[in-house]
Structures are given as C-alpha cells and as structure tokens.
Chains A and B, each alone.
Chain A
Amino acid sequence: MSTTASNAFTAKPGTPRLDLPPVPLARPGRWVAAAVVLLLLAWMVYVVFANPNFQWPVVWKYLFSKDILDGVKLTIELTVYAMSIGVSLGLVAALMRLSDNKLLSTAATAYIVAFRGTPALVQLIFWFNLAALFPRITLGIPFLAPAWLSIDANAVITPVVAATLGLGLCEGAYMSEIVRAGILSVDPGQREAATALGLTRAQTMRRIVLPQALRVIVPPTGNQIIGMLKLTSLASVISVTELLAAAGLIYTRTYETIPLLIVASIWYIVLTGVLTLVQRFIERHLGRSVHDAAQRASASRAT
C-alpha cells in the first residue's frame, strides 16, 4: 500500500523543480498604484518647475545670500541657546519634581503648569515686554541685601535675549517631563544597590541612574531639538532676524514672497536633516553601550 502511494507520488508528472526559486505572486494592484504615484509626482514636479510664478531663479539668487546665511546662523544659535537652557532647566525641574521635599516638587509642578500651559508665542512677547513690568533689573538677595547691580531692563532684554529666555523656559517645562520619565524608567533596584554600597544620592544619580535614563531621554530630546529649530521662527515676531525674519525682510521689500519662503524652507529641511543624522548616530551609540558591546565581545571570542 505504502509503496504504491510513494510510486504514485514520484510518478506524478508535475514534480516541482527545486533548482529554481518559486515564482512570486503577480501583484498587479501594486504596479497600478506605483504608476499613479509616479504620474502624480511627475505632474507636481512639472507644475512646480514649469510655473514661472515660483521664480526659481530668485530662489537660487537668495539661497546663499548674506542676509539669509546670517538668519541661518542666528536660527542655529537660538536653537543651541534655548535647548541648553531647556535641557538644564528640565534636569533641575525633574529632580525637584521627584524630590521628597514637598515644597520643591510643588514649585517644579507650578513651573511646568505655567510654562507648558501657555503658548510659546505669548511667553516670547511677555519676555520682550519685561521692561514694562520691571523697568530696572537688580541683582542682590531678595528683601535682604541692597542691590549689588542695577541696570536698565531695556538694555539687557534685547530681542535675542527675550527669545532665548522665552524659548528656553518653555522648553525646560517639556524637557523636565522627558527627563522625569527617563529617571522613572530605571529599575529602583539599581538605586537600592548603589545606596546599600554606600554611594551618596548624588553619586547614585550621576553614575547609575542618569546614564541608564539616557537611553529613554535621548530619542524624544532629538525630536525636541528639531521642534525647537522650527519654533525659533516665532522670534521673528519680536524682531529677531532669524531665518524666517531674514527672508521676510527681503520679501516685504521685493514682494518675492513665495521664492523666499522656499529659501527658508530649504534651509529648515537641510538643518533638520543634519540633526536627524546626528540623532540616529547618538541613538545607535547609546544602544551599543549596553547591548552590542556584549555581542561584539562574544563575536570576537568566536573568531
């Protein structure tokens, strides 16, 4: 019985060839979809580049002009300053928020509510108009010591300073939540082990908790930096000539609005592209410190 069955099987005329891979299933729908998308893309490129109203020659003319490049530089500077303030404030606020001291944690919560709860634009304009609230800025111990230093607020709070403060303080509120989530993601046993070994709370935080929290903190921080890069365009309303304002200054003079907005957009895309690459590199590096280091070690052992 079994011999006849196996005979019948091998004798079957359609025994498949094994020297060739299986023929893939035809998917005509995909080809149609791809063709449609390709057609649409071609049409868009045609519309954009054939339409003289886009004024591509004007775009090329201004793309590397001095005013625009100065704007790019200021945009980068504002991003760096605001993110530095944001990350530092975020770390401090997160540590305060996690403190056992009720007053500290309440103060941090109040800061987050105030600065995350109001639009960044409002904060920028508020800081820009600080001189209306405090005509003079004094340095000293509140209520106690006389002022060591007293200066005109208008002289200190330049538009760039107002923008840096506004964006940085706003960012700090978001960053503190990111840092807090990172710290809370670390297994409490890690802290206990460090404490039991006699490390101080500061040593434990710096050597054990924060390095491990970083893996959770870095990816969203990359997003925040990219967000900040574009958020700096808000500073244009308080007459900071960053990238968007630099473009605006030109097109209010020449009425070449669209081409100059394209110029600004090209720069924003280039800058976010660079940041994305940096972010990817850092994430890969951080992941490696824990997982792949061991894999590399075992790989080198195998060879």
Chain B
Amino acid sequence: MIEIRDLHKRFGSVEVLKGIDLDIEAGKVVVVIGPSGSGKSTLLRCINHLERPDGGYVRVGGEFVGYRVVGDRLHEVREQDLCAARAAIGMVFQRFNLFQNMTVLDNVTLAPRLARGVDGQEAERKAMALLERVGLAGKKDRYPNRLSGGEQQRVAIARALAMEPRVMLFDEATSALDPELVGEVLDVMRGLARDGMTMVVVTHEITFARDVADEVVFMDRGVVAERGPPSQVLQAPREARTREFLARLL
C-alpha cells in the first residue's frame, strides 16, 4: 500500500533522512520508534508531502505522491493533483490542530465538502457516524477549545477518517496528552487497526507497539536501523543502538 524508495530530506546543512526504503502492505500497522531527531516525524511528513523530499519518492496505493512519471523522470504535479493525493492520506498530529474557528461537526465535514464535493447533508450524516465511533457525537456543536486533549485528538481522528483515506499517519498522537487521557486515544487507534486500516504510527508508547504493530521500525540518525516484528525488535533487538534506546525508554 505504501512504497517508499530512497527518500532523502535535508533542512539546511542537516540531512534528516538519508535514504529510507520501506514497503508497507495494506492493512498492516507499522510503528516507527527512535530517539528524537532521528527523522521519524519528517518521514511521516514526507509521505503526504507536507515536506517536499529532496530525493526519492513515495507511492500510496500505487500512485506517486506529488509526482508523476513522464518518460524516465519524476515531474512535479499541479496543486489539485497533489491535493487529491493528500486527501487519500489521513494524518493525525501531536497537537491535534483542530480548526479553532469551527465546531466539532464543521471540523469533520469541511474537507469532504470542499475537497471531495460531498453535499452538506451527506457529509453531516457520515461525520455523525464517525463522531459516534470515537464516542463524541454528543459534542458535535462544541468548539475545540472547550474539549479535553483526548477529546480533541479523537475528533482529529474522525476528521481524518472523513476523507476515507487509504492510509492513516499518526505523528506522536498521544505525546501532548495528560497521562490519563492517552488510553482513550490509543483505544480508538486499536479499533482502527482491528478494522484493517493501514497505519504508520510514530509513537513512544512501547506497549501499543507491542500489542498492535505488525512491524516495528527503529530509526536512528536518518536511517532505518532495524525493523521486524515487535517480538524481535522490542524483545530481542539485534542492533546495539536499538537496545540502548529501549533501555532508556523503560
């Protein structure tokens, strides 16, 4: 479902991604772990072209994100095509980023109406079903700043799902939450995984990685240092730096 080839990204003189190759099958959950500054978030942001990679490419569902191929070269695509590609990739942020100027319901219906041209009633019906799913249908008329962090993040997940994405990216979705609110967000993510959503999850929640991940990717200094099933990477890591990182985390 996701194909990442030789992905490079540099910010000024710092090379954050030094050639990442990764394939993720449909329906799989990949958890990316690693020390801060290892390039986990940048990798996620390159998948939907929030950051334009300096080299390499990403394909989601067989289609290039941000590029098309003419002859043997990648060409940048027009804005509409890039937006269409992004619409198929849901993203959940560390700081929720709910639209502050709209109610919960409008947050969820906005993108389907604007980017997909879904009509208002239909968008609202689907939004309510999604809010029901994350347990927040009763708060549809609230503004985001009146919700707890956990509630905001669950709305953010519903908002991303409203575009019916083929994959979901989670960028440290629970890192900004109070400890007692982490569980409710992880539960929603577990439910998604159970329903067969393809997910790439950057997180520090090792328990979540152990329970839910089909594969754990350990990143360090811009490269994939180790990858494999959670039982191997988390319990019997081959690489010394993976062991070091896990030791510090526990």
Contacts of A297 in B (CB 8 A): 141-142, 146
Given contacts A197-B86, A197-B87, A198-B111, contact A212 B101 (CB under 8 A): yes
Q: Evaluate contact between A192 and B50: CB separation under 8 angstroms.
A: yes
Specify which chain B residues have a CB less than 8 angstroms from the CB of A189 in the assembled complex: 93, 95, 97
A200, B90: Cα distance in complex, Å:
15
Per-position 1/0 for B67-83, Cβ under 8 A of A: 00000000000011001
CA A194 to CA B99, docked complex, whole Å: 8
For residue B100, CB closer than 8 A to chain A, the reply is yes
Q: A196-B91, A198-B86 are in contact. Are A290 and B99 (CB under 8 A)?
A: no
Whether B219 is near chain A, meaning CB under 8 Å from some CB there, is no
| Complex: chain B residue closest to A189, CB-CB | B97
Chain B residues within an 8 Å CB radius of A203:
114-115
Q: Which of B95-120 contact A (CB under 8 A)?
A: 95, 97-101, 110-111, 114-115
- Which residue of the partner chain B has the closest CB to A298? B146
Residues 196-219 of chain B: 1 if any A CB is under 8 Å from the residue's CB, otherwise 0? 000000000000000000000000
CA distance A208 to B143 in the complex (A): 14
B130-148 to A contact mask, C-beta < 8 Å, 1/0: 0000000000011101100
Q: Are A192 and B97 in contact (CB under 8 A)?
A: yes
Nearest A residue (CB) for B116? A198
Q: Is the CB of A199 within 8 A of B143?
A: no
Expressed in whole angstroms, the Cα–Cα distance for A298 and B142 within the complex equals 9
Known pairs A193-B93, A193-B99, A290-B100; A198 contacts B83 (CB<8 A)? yes
Residue A223 CB within 8 A of the other chain: no
Bound CA span A219–B143, Å = 23
Q: Which residues of the other chain, A, contact B93 by a CB distance below 8 angstroms?
A: 189, 192-193, 196
| Complex alpha-carbon distance, A79 and B86, angstroms | 45
In the bound assembly, the distance between CA atoms of A207 and B109 in angstroms comes to 13
Q: Does A58 contact B (CB under 8 A)?
A: no
Check if B84 sits within 8 Å of A198, measured CB to CB: yes
- Cα A192 to Cα B88 in complex, Å, equals 15
Q: What CA separation (Å) do A298 and B138 show in the bound complex?
A: 12
A201 to B145, CA, bound (A): 25
In the complex, residue of chain A having the shortest beta-carbon distance to the beta carbon of B86: A198
List residues 263-303 of chain A with CB under 8 A from any CB of chain B: 289-291, 293-294, 297-298
- Enumerate 12 A-B pairs (CB-CB under 8 Å) in ascending A order: A189-B93, A189-B95, A190-B97, A193-B99, A195-B86, A196-B89, A198-B86, A198-B87, A199-B83, A199-B115, A200-B80, A293-B143
For the complex of A and B, list the 3 residue pairs with the smallest distance between their C-beta atoms, beginning with the closest.
A198-B87, A193-B97, A197-B111
